[in-house]
Structure 1
Amino acid sequence: MLKIGYKASAEQFEPRTLLKFGVLAEEAGFDSVMISDHFQPWKHTDGHAPYAFAWLGALGERTTRVQIGTSVLTPTFRHHPSMVAQATATLGVLFPGRVILGVGTGESLNEVPATGMEWPAYKERFERLGESVGLIRELWQRDHVSHEGTYYRTENATVYDRPDEQIPIFIAAGGPRMARFAGRSGDGMICTSGKGVELYRDALLPGLVEGAAKAGRDPEKLERMIEVKVSFDLDRARAMEDTRNWAALALPPESKVGVEDPREMERLAAELTAEQAASRWIVSDDAEEHVERIKTYLDLGFDHLVFHAPGEDQPRFLQLYAEQVLPRLRELSPARLG
């Protein structure tokens, strides 16, 4: 069954305004509202970075139906796994059946300024995430957990307020290794759009299936979430210009690795042309054509589409989507895996 979500742009809007957008998304018919957990935003000028757990608590109180969660939080450096387990469990008690924990290996932009650490190689980040996910689940399942791992320790640790239902953990994947890990250990996989069909078709989704098969799990029971970057407006020029707010996303990975200052990230993004800034986005002023391009991800097998719009007028986007895009999407179904 297809789920349709709204990405709350925490780095773009101040927290109270962002809450209003989350409420509007539920009213517009979206199924989920997801927020990333940044300590620092992609740009310094007019940037924001609210604490995801606090914001989700406020959103949960203002909504009644939508799933809420992180996409993506890093439970390995500035967040100790035991505190992530406690915070997420509290949300699960407050809003039963509505909470998702999305996790990933992190970015130096968020972790280094908050800790002063030296950013480790990918191997360590991957190992830390694996140990962290295991520890979080253990703390949700039993009392008095004494864990002595490679990176984390607990001693007789108990999370006292836990929901009756297990909270799903979605794992962010940008390559086949993380996708296999999501298949083995996750309840779902998260990735982002605009990186070329080959990555999803030949690496991420097959990796998810492979990881699930090796663990004796059914990949069809794992959600395949993708954040789809869309700029939809009846005025195409406006839709194109809106993508400049998130030009940093179009920077090549080698330009972003090791950049820990939002001012420098902003400077690098400002050097991109409008066409380059828009390269990661589905830019459209025609609903039929827009949905046809989104359908590519459904045909690949993704079943939870979370839409991220770059414009300043989010109520306009939500209204346009509710009227012209969501009804068309509801008529479609995701392809099966395998």
Structure 2
Amino acid sequence: MSIPIRFGYKASAEQFGPQELLDYAVAAEDAGFDSVFISDHFQPWMHDGGHAPAALPWLGALGARTCRILMGTSVLTPTFRYHPAVVAQSIATLAVLNPGRIVLGVGTGEALNEVTLGLDWPEPPERFQRLKESIALMRELWEHERVTFDGTFWKVEDATVYDRPDRPVPVYIGAAGPAAARLAGRIAEGFITTSGKDRALYTDTLLPAVADGVAKGERDAEEVDRMIEVKVSYHPDLEKARERTRFWAPLALSAEEKMGIHDPREMQRRAAALPIERAASRFIVSDDPDEHVERIAEYVEMGFRHLVFHDPGADQSAFLQRYADDILPRLRRRFG
């Protein structure tokens, strides 16, 4: 049995306020998207015009206004500013209110969200171990009535999440490197990454690492969703399609250029120095629907089965309409 291919909408929490973003996400369900995922940032990547609504209460509001879409975070970090037991409680409540519609996407985090709060920012190996332990603790709380947990980083004693869903909450792990991708394949229900990087990163590193994790965990490959946030700028005016990516220029900064930055003003300053060609480099920029679909199809051919589209424009209503009219029908005819 083949894994169904799903098409989602990325709710740009860094770009829009909570009410405007909520209206767009509701419109995404009406437009035929299968899922909505939202990032969880304490601070945005851009100071001017930036936003940072809290993801968990926002998902509650989205659930109340929709009936069909899968909803989740991409990604939340349950290891520093959140205690994983509190995340477990919050996600369980969302899952009870929206049965079968909640996903928890998690990652190791960014300095931008944690350092500002006075939290220590350890090296990647410790962040990775914290993530593994937090997932283990959350699952204990979802699956057992009374939990005592004595970990390296987290401890709970006689803890109970009293309102738990009837079915397990899927956990997706965000990964930009092989270790986290392998962990996703071994223990998670899904793997999350982002588009616009060298093809070899996906075909030679990340997806093989997921497969390796699946094998090590002795799992069925169809148990693990392979999700990618596809950055797209589709507009009938090609120059406008390119210029619309400017707000998201921070995405084009290298890991070295972003490392340790905790102030959105500094992130904005570095991004502003990039030429438009580099700012647009992470996006599929197109004015032709057939060519646009061909470039999206490359990710399906690599092995991704859940494509969440992130458009950089200020007018998300127009994006949703263009995708409903021109892109989603073509994708569904091609991939079912």
TM-score interval, normalised by the smaller of the two chains: over 0.9
1:242: which partner in 2?
244
SS in 2 for 1:143: coil
Indicate the SS of the match to 1:170.
strand
After superposition, what is the alpha-carbon deviation per residue over 1:150-180, rounded to whole angstroms, capped at 9, x for unaligned?
0000010100001111110000111111111
Answering whether residue 189 of structure 2 is matched by residue 181 of structure 1, we say no
Q: What secondary structure sits across from 2:335 in the alignment?
A: coil
Report Cα offsets for 1:308-332 as digits up to 9, x if no partner.
0000000000000000000111123
8 Å CA contact 1:60–1:95 kept in 2: the answer is: yes
Amino acid at match of 2:229: E
SS state at 1:155 partner: strand
CA distance in 2, matches of 1:331, 1:178: 33
Q: Which residue of 2 aligns with 1:68?
A: 71
Q: Say if 1:4 and 1:306, in contact at 8 Å, map to a contact too.
A: yes
Task: Give the drift of 1:198.
Answer: 0.2
Q: Which residue of 2 aligns with 1:6?
A: 9
Deviations 1:2-51 (A, max 9, x none): 10000000010010000000010000000000000000000111111011
Q: Secondary structure at the match of 1:6?
A: strand
Cα separation, 2, equivalents of 1:209 and 1:275: 34
The structure 1 residue matched to 2:132, chosen from 130, 133, 145, is: 130
SS of aligned partner of 1:260:
coil
CA contact (8 A) 1:208 1:219 kept: no
Post-superposition offset of 1:196: 1.0
**1:316 match: secondary structure:** helix
Identity %: 60
Residue 111 (structure 1) shift:
1.1
Deviations 1:199-226 (A, max 9, x none): 1101111111111111110122210000
Mapped partners of 1:257, 1:331: distance in 2: 42
Q: Give me the TM-score of the superposition, normalised by structure 1.
A: 0.97
Q: Deviations over 1:216-265 (max 9, x none)?
A: 10122210000000000111111100000100000111010100000000
Give me the whole-angstrom Cα distance separating, in 1, the residues matched to 2:216 and 2:334.
30
Partner SS state of residue 100, structure 1: strand
* Residue in 2 that maps onto 1:39: 42
The reply on whether 1:286 has 2:316 as its aligned counterpart is no
Pick the aligned partner of 2:30 from 27, 30, 34: 27
Alignment partners' CA distance in 1, 2:59 and 2:334:
30
What is the one-letter code of the residue matched to 1:169?
V
SS in 1 for 2:260: coil
Letter in 2 for 1:158: T
SS at match of 2:333: coil
The corresponding residue for 1:121 is: 123
Q: Distance in 2 between matches of 1:111 and 1:164?
A: 33
Pairing 1:187-226 to 2, within 5 Å after superposition = 187-226=189-228
- Name the amino acid aligned to 1:19: L
Q: Provide the secondary structure at the position in 1 that maps to 2:245.
A: helix
- Aligned partners of 1:7 and 1:35 also within 8 Å: yes
Q: Distance in 1 between matches of 2:11 and 2:310?
A: 7
Partners of 2:126 and 2:75 lie apart in 1 by 18
Pairwise CA RMSD: 0.8
**Contact residue 143 and residue 156 of structure 1 kept, 8 A:** no
Q: TM-score, normalised by structure 2?
A: 0.98
Closer/same/farther in 2, CA of residues 331 and 221 from structure 1, 3 Å limit? farther
Q: Give the structure 1 partner of residue 233 of structure 2.
A: 231
Unaligned runs of 5+ in 1: none
Cα distance in 2 for partners of 1:303, 1:183 equals 14
Output the amino acid matched with 2:319: F
Partner of 1:149: 151
What whole-Å deviation, never above 9, does each CA across 1:37-83 have from its counterpart, x for those lacking one? 00000011111101100000001001010011100000100011101
Separation in structure 2 between the aligned mates of residue 293 and residue 196 of structure 1, nearest angstrom: 14
Q: Quick one: which of 69, 78, 83 aligns to 1:80?
A: 83
Give distance in 2, aligned partners of 1:43 and 1:210.
37
Q: Which amino acid aligns with 1:256?
A: K
| 8 Å CA contact 1:168, 1:187 repeated in 2 | yes
- Determine the C-alpha separation between the residues in 2 that align with 1:109 and 1:45: 16
